Amino acid sequence: MKINEIKDLLKQENPDPALLEKLREDPRKGVAQLLASYDRRQEKLKKKKAEFLGRFAYEKAFWQSGQLVAGVDEVGRGPLAGPVVAAAVILPEDFDLIEVNDSKKVSPARRLALYPQILEKAVAVGIGLMDNQVIDQINIYEADRQAMKQAVEKLSVKPDALLVDAMNVPVDLPQTELIKGDAKSNSIAAASIVAKVYRDQLMDEYAKTYPQYGFERNAGYGTSEHLKALAEFGPTPIHRLTFAPVKESLEQHRKN
């Protein structure tokens, strides 16, 4: 086989083991280098799969007794504008998207690719949202909890229990609260990706209405671009008026 043919072969997901063994006897230096690179990739993939399976430890405790468990997470606690969004996701026992992880560890492009796959493979997905007006009325912590409650209640299948990222959801279900849960549970990680992509897409739409603030880039967080626009143009109808930089901007514009 030519080097380029071997290169293409080793890019395949499951190359023929017998052919691999034969290639290992090939004396060419280029072949040895390709095989070494292939072995490193396989070792990395093996480690990734093991870590992925390890993040099902909490789910397995429920699955073993025939129970359905939902992972719950939220995104958007810190931004100055836009809603807080929560997602609840029930994964099947054969869920195999090993790229699923804490949304902060997954690139935007990868999150976008995983989003429809999670929706397709999940047993059920629920999304909850509390807008900036609710946040201003009841505070961000309570708005978080209400968004999570809404997400759980929107599940088409009722879970027997919840795995939650460091929060308590005001629903009558057994709950396990996990600090940094999106790095410990695939169900919570899947929920974090769904919530993140859903909210980012909302902010992309808001950016069309309020182009000065760069919402498509900052998702409502207080970047220098966003703060500069706040100082120049003042708050929009989607800004959180109880958040200090927005409150200061509003007061300044009222004086002017």
> In this structure, what CATH number is given to the domain that contains residue 161?
3.30.420.10
Ligand-binding site membership of 200 (annotated): no
- Is pLDDT above 90 for 79? yes
Q: What is the secondary structure of 137-155 as a DSSP string?
A: HH-HHHHHHHHHHHHHHT-
User: How far is Cα 72 from Cα 87, in angstroms, rounded to an integer?
Assistant: 6
Q: Are residues 136 and 189 in the same domain?
A: yes
Q: Which has the closest alpha carbon to 217: 94, 95, 81?
A: 81
List the Cα angle 58/149/194 in 5-degree steps. 65
Q: Are residues 195 and 69 in the same domain?
A: yes
Q: Are residues 222 and 177 in the same domain?
A: no
Q: Are residues 104 and 197 in the same domain?
A: yes
Ligand-binding site membership of 74 (annotated): yes
Q: Are residues 242 and 195 in the same domain?
A: no
pTM summary value:
0.90
Q: What is the pLDDT of residue 253?
A: 87
Q: What is the pLDDT of residue 255?
A: 80
Q: Are residues 50 and 63 in the same domain?
A: no
Q: Are residues 81 and 196 in the same domain?
A: yes
Q: What is the pLDDT of residue 106?
A: 94
Q: What is the pLDDT of residue 7?
A: 87
Among 202, 230, 245, residue at a domain's last position:
202
Ligand-binding site membership of 99 (annotated): no
Q: Are residues 22 and 88 in the same domain?
A: no
Q: What is the pLDDT of residue 6?
A: 87
Structural domain for 111, as ranges: 57-202
Is residue 163 within 8 A of residue 178, CB to CB? The reply is yes
Among 36, 54, 72, residue at a domain's last position:
54
> pLDDT band for position 181 (50/70/90)?
very high
User: How far is Cα 53 from Cα 35, in angstroms, rounded to an integer?
Assistant: 27
pLDDT digits (tens, 9 = 90+) for 189-248: 999 999 999 999 999 999 999 999 999 999 999 999 999 999 999 999 999 999 999 999
Q: Are residues 122 and 173 in the same domain?
A: yes
Check residues 72 and 34 and name the one with the higher pLDDT: 72
Q: Are residues 143 and 235 in the same domain?
A: no
- Is pLDDT above 90 for 31? no
If one counts the domains in the chain, the total is 3
Q: What is the pLDDT of residue 103?
A: 86
Q: What is the pLDDT of residue 136?
A: 98
Instruction: Give the number of other Cβ atoms within 10 Å of residue 65's Cβ.
Output: 7
Q: Are residues 193 and 219 in the same domain?
A: no
Q: Are residues 122 and 7 in the same domain?
A: no
- In the chain, what are the helix, strand and coil shares in percent, each to the nearest 5? 55, 10, 30
| Mean pLDDT, residues 84-98 | 98
